[in-house]
Structure 1
Amino acid sequence: MNKQNKKLWYLAAIGILSYMVADIIHEVIGHGGTSLITGNKIELLTMVYFKSSPGNILVDIGGPIANLFFGGLSYYMLTKSSFAQLFLFQVTAYNLFWFSGTILHSAISHTGDWTFAMKELLSEPYSKILLISAGILFYMMILRILNYYLSLDTNEQQTEPLTKHNILYSFIFAALGSFVAGLFYATDRLHSGLEGLLEMAASLPILFLKFRKNTIDKTYQFRQNYYVELAVFILYIAFCLTLGKGITN
């Protein structure tokens, strides 16, 4: 296997793993965990759909709040260590952008995680205006935070190059992975797959960050670790057969 193919497999594994972590944080830890804490019965849990009874505002916003919390945690880990930088950076970005994306999604579709919570606070059109304003504001803040990290001199010493090229390929594989996993939901395969792509679309701003020119990427040797890539592949299959297929009660 040539050097370019080794690198591509590596970026694919990192991208798909980053996506799975962000999705599990949103659906399982966020929505599912909040549901268990509040005593709700989980009726459906998939990579894009969650349903519990009775209705609960805390359960609705539990997903994006979990993304915000763990996104902040992974960002803190990024600033303290260069370990697994390519992975942690994407986990940070996906979680934080998903948080902002859910806000805008609720404003546009009226069916997202924040919809019912906002209806309890404000009537239309004020709730929509507030959601749009908040979503844009958070996107701007997150872009500034991530760009600040990319501007730090410590990134010259990174163990894994954070370049636009590497992030692009990882993002493409993450998006493809989300779509394929959604196809396992037998009730509505295509719509589930497209919902997975919509989730990843919330993180598109990652491609427009101000990546510095990095000389490390020219000489960096992507170590081919078949065990890691095999582990990610096995985890992805398990992800497809559980959250992709859907868990019902």
Structure 2
Amino acid sequence: MGAGDTELSSRVTPSPQRDHVLTVLAAGLLAATLAAICHETVGHGLGCIAAGGEIQLLTSIWFRCHGATSLTDAGGAISGLVFGGLVLALPMRRVGNSAMRMTLFMFSAISLLWVAAQIIAHPALDRDDWHFIAMRWHWPLVWRPLLATVGVLSYVAIVRWIALLLRDPAAPSARAIYLAYVAAAISAVLAGWMWAPLPTRSALEGLLTLGVAPMGLLVAAARINPDHSGGAPIAKSWLFVAISLLVFAAFALIQGRGLGPLADCSGSRSAPTEWCVL
């Protein structure tokens, strides 16, 4: 092929398509919302009901159950592992819609890393799910380093799994992952802020849970070959953007504002007011 042919070829070769930014942001927004529903509403909620308890408080990031058991405490982790693992194991090529493919990938990665980060943090912080389980079962002090070690190993394994999946030509680009991640973190802060009794603390908890805990996803994305732009760019879909915004708005205005007798920190006959001091 001559020089002239090469020049002509470079002119007619189409440039790679770019991801539609608003659709990518909507995917991150929806993914974070689904992850919160999976962990708090489905996981802890069903765990509370299955234990014969009564849901006292349900927000975007807080959950309290009167009559809770270890099943209630572990419910969020179980739900995140089951649904996150199943979705992440789904071959990307089988999801034809690029926006949904991005959403499912982000949802599963966030859900799994959320669980692993909890296993690392709770032994040191003396709070939340795994601390409650340890106290209920009177685990010896060695549970702290052992569980934290399991958490670290799990976190590393999940990050490696994600990095391996990102080699797939159908995987999203690093740029798309970064944008969706930012949207997910911001949505968690906004949803947390909706709970009037403790807006600042809830917003901070949302940031830590969905903005800091899944940072392994950014590590995995950074390992993507710079030439990898994703096998199928995230196509523009105003319908998807609208649906994502509606789902998030409903979530923030209903669950984000708090459900249950302790939603306004007023207490109830079956649960003391101090349960609201988180």
TM-score, length of structure 1 as denominator length: 0.89
Q: Partners of 1:55 and 1:90 in 2: how far apart?
A: 30
The answer for the alignment partner of 1:241 in structure 2 is: 253
Unaligned runs of 5+ in 1: none
Task: Quote the offset at 1:164 in angstroms.
Answer: 1.4
Change in Cα spacing, 1:68 to 1:81, as seen in structure 2 (3 Å) is same
The answer for the alignment partner of 2:216 in structure 1 is: 205
Structure with higher Rg: it is: 2
Q: Partners of 1:141 and 1:205 in 2: how far apart?
A: 10
1:134 aligned onto 2:115: no
The answer for the alignment partner of 1:188 in structure 2 is: 198
Please point out which of 122, 140, 144 is paired with 2:139.
122
What is the one-letter code of the residue matched to 1:244? G
Contact residue 12 and residue 170 of structure 1 kept, 8 A: yes
Task: Quote the offset at 1:197 in angstroms.
Answer: 0.5
Task: Quote the offset at 1:192 in angstroms.
Answer: 0.4
Change in Cα spacing, 1:164 to 1:222, as seen in structure 2 (3 Å) is closer
The answer for the alignment partner of 1:169 in structure 2 is: 179
Superposition map of 1:1-249 within 5 A = 7-78=20-91, 81-83=94-96, 84-119=100-135, 120-124=137-141, 126-151=142-167, 155-156=168-169, 158=170, 161-200=171-210, 201-209=212-220, 210-217=223-230, 222-249=234-261
Contact residue 36 and residue 60 of structure 2 kept, 8 A: yes
Task: Quote the offset at 1:107 in angstroms.
Answer: 1.4
Change in Cα spacing, 1:220 to 1:67, as seen in structure 2 (3 Å) is closer
Query: Matched residue pairs, number?
Result: 238
Further displaced range: 101-110 or 39-48: 101-110
Q: Percent sequence identity over matched residues?
A: 26
Change in Cα spacing, 1:31 to 1:216, as seen in structure 2 (3 Å) is same
Provide Cα deviations, 1:67-103, integer angstroms capped at 9, x if missing partner: 0000111012235624333222111101110110111
The answer for the alignment partner of 2:3 in structure 1 is: none
Aligned Cα root-mean-square deviation (Å): 2.1
Which structure: greater helix fraction?
Answer: 1
Task: Quote the offset at 1:216 in angstroms.
Answer: 4.6
Contact residue 64 and residue 99 of structure 1 kept, 8 A: yes
TM-score, length of structure 2 as denominator length: 0.80
SS of the residue aligned with 1:114?
A: helix
Task: Quote the offset at 1:35 in angstroms.
Answer: 1.0
